[in-house]
Amino acid sequence: MTDFKHIQTAHCENGVTVNLLQQQGLDFLTEPLAFGIGSGLFYIHIPFLKVNAGPAISFRSMPGAIFKRTCKVLDVKVERKKFKSKEVAQQFLDAKVDAGISVGCQVGVFHLNYFPKEYRFHFNAHNLIVFGRDGDDYLVSDPVMETTTRLSREAMEKVRFAKGALAPKGHIYYPVNVGEVTDEMIRKAIAKGINRNVRDMLRIPTKIAGVRGINYTASKVRKWRDQVGPRQGGLFLGQIVRMQEEIGTGGGGFRFLYAAFLEQASERLGNDKLIGISEQITKSGDLWRDSALQMAGIYKGRITEQKDFDHCADIMNEIAAVEKQAFQELSKIKLI
Amino acid sequence: MKKEELPQDKSALDNFTREVCYVKNKDGKYVTDLSEGWEVKSVALDNAWEEIERRTEEAKQKVLNGEASPVLYFLELKLMDLPVLAGYTGFMRWQIKRHMKPSVFKKLSTKKLQNYADVFEVSLEDFKNFNV
């Protein structure tokens, strides 16, 4: 396949979604639209669960949700497979690729040798596209990379059969049947994505998810200095910053990406009010960046007093208020 | 974030890739731009690695002092936790915890030791005798 078009995006799952669906003729689909239609924006802080010995926080919805929701609402049939046998998994991949079909694969990044070593943790919800074979190499389009890349058969087997939480088990997926997608369908898909995101951010009845989750983390941040000391507390804050800003988020914990979605949604739906909400979400993204800057002061060891931890928490409370206001207003807008 | 405010700080991404960020252009419209990194998060990542090195060194001392088996050291070295190691070895978590005791470790069969050595990507000898 020489005519494969690599598309670089902020986030891997958006990228795979956009690329595979564009190949099927859905040219309108951009990364922000896929993210918004799939209701990708979220916040959750899971207590009692530790990630790399730090707090377990996510700024986005469950892995896999964006692709699944976007395909479903656009009436795209998807074929998925997981495998017990590594041999069968490889044969299946070879057969698809040799038939000229690009496929999405879920992989672990620990053995993903084209990533910098510093980024290779046991994280198993990364996604990439395999679009061809060349000798013993697979041709790979990883949406977070600037160009296409390659993986040997051995390396591919390792990343597809990584172990631990969310183990991919050779998970492979690709669209098989795409019907006609009308403007009306796109508008409905956007409205549905927004409504589901309003629900996720405002109406999940728990204090750990949505805008209340942000306040929950803020209340923890106030206590960390006393509970674990400034050094460990700083490491916890560093973990928040990494979840929020690391490669894949588009900056500001996916908030800028969502603001871009609302801007495109406003054009698609012909509704100017969405621009106002987009600006509020941009403000939230900017505040997340401010908060990261403040947190960095602590984990660099420059400012380590209780008032400095409190300042971080104060910004997070402000973010929660901004996002609450934005999503409440969004819930009142008549979309279609 | 405005396009001109996008940080371009050298980071671990250097020579690998640049990352897509969403920024506003002069007309206030969202566009994508590429960033080489942001110092704020580079430091967070560096700190996380220093912490891993500290924990690995701590585990090494424990093994040398006879307080833990090499399983603990290699678990830290390979950034694993019990669920990850259980996934790769096929052992149960409680079995792995037992294998971390030097007294239990001494009696492990070669087959089990080889299993660990393969997962940790070291030779059986280096694993068993803790040649690190």
User: Which domains are seen in chain A, by residue range?
Assistant: 12-178 (3.90.70.10), 183-332 (no CATH)
CA proximity to B32, closest of A23, A149, A146:
A146
Give me the interface pTM, i.e. the ipTM.
Answer: 0.95
Model pLDDT, residue A247: 80
Residues B83 and B96 in one domain: yes
Residues B32 and B65 in one domain: no
Residues B119 and B58 in one domain: yes
Residues B46 and B33 in one domain: no
Nearest CA in chain A to B48: A235
Does the distance separating the beta carbons of B21 and A296 come in below 8 Å? no
Residues B123 and B68 in one domain: yes
Rounded mean pLDDT, B71-97: 97
Report residue A2's pLDDT band, with 50, 70 and 90 as the boundaries: low
Per-residue pLDDT of B100-129, as tens digits, reads 999 999 999 999 999 999 999 999 999 999
**B22 CB near a chain A CB, below 8 Å?**
yes
Backbone angles phi, psi at B3, to 5 degrees: -55, -45
Residues B23 and B55 in one domain: no
Residues B87 and B105 in one domain: yes
Report residue A3's pLDDT band, with 50, 70 and 90 as the boundaries: confident
Other Cβ atoms closer than 10 A to B35: 18
Does the distance separating the beta carbons of A116 and B22 come in below 8 Å? no
- Best of B10, B11, B20 to disrupt the A interface (most A CBs within 10 Å) is B20
Q: How far is B64 from chain A (nearest CA, A)?
A: 24
Backbone angles phi, psi at A90, to 5 degrees: -70, -40
Nearest CB among B1, B13, B29 relative to A263 is that of B29
Instruction: Give A159-163's long-range contacts (Cβ < 8 A, gap of 24+).
Output: A159/A107, A159/A108, A159/A109, A159/A111, A159/A112, A160/A86, A160/A89, A160/A105, A160/A106, A160/A107, A161/A86, A161/A89, A162/A107, A162/A108, A162/A110, A162/A111, A162/A122, A162/A124, A163/A108, A163/B84, A163/B86, A163/B87, A163/B88
What residues are paired with A126 via a beta bridge? Answer: A107
The CATH number for B68's domain is: 1.10.260
Structural domains of chain B, count: 2
- Exposed/middle/buried for A289, CB within 10 Å: 0-12, 13-18, 19+? buried
Model pLDDT, residue A48: 87
Rounded mean pLDDT, B4-21: 94
- Best of A49, A112, A118 to disrupt the B interface (most B CBs within 10 Å) is A118
Taking contacts as CB-CB distances below 8 angstroms, the residues of chain B near A242 are 41, 44-45, 48
Nearest CB among B17, B38, B48 relative to A52 is that of B48
> Residue A164: which region, alpha, beta or left (left: phi > 0; alpha: psi -120 to 50)?
left
Per-residue pLDDT of A159-205, as tens digits, reads 999 999 999 999 999 999 899 999 999 999 999 999 999 999 999 99
Other Cβ atoms closer than 10 A to A202: 16
Residues B25 and B58 in one domain: no
- Domain housing B25: 3-37
Does the distance separating the beta carbons of B43 and A292 come in below 8 Å? no
Residues B11 and B54 in one domain: no
- Best of B47, B52, B53, B56 to disrupt the A interface (most A CBs within 10 Å) is B47
Residues B59 and B106 in one domain: yes
Does the distance separating the beta carbons of A246 and B41 come in below 8 Å? yes
Q: What is the DSSP string of A211-255?
A: HHHHHHHHHHHHHHHHHHHHHHHHHHHHHHHHHHHSTTS-STTTH
Residues B23 and B64 in one domain: no
Per-residue pLDDT of B33-52, as tens digits, reads 999 999 999 999 999 999 99
Other Cβ atoms closer than 10 A to A300: 17
Q: Can you tell me the distance from the alpha carbon of A68 to that of A167, in angstroms, rounded to the nearest whole number? A: 18
The single-letter DSSP state of residue A1 is -
Q: Can you tell me the distance from the alpha carbon of A57 to that of A40, in angstroms, rounded to the nearest whole number? A: 15
Residues B89 and B24 in one domain: no
Taking contacts as CB-CB distances below 8 angstroms, the residues of chain B near A110 are 79
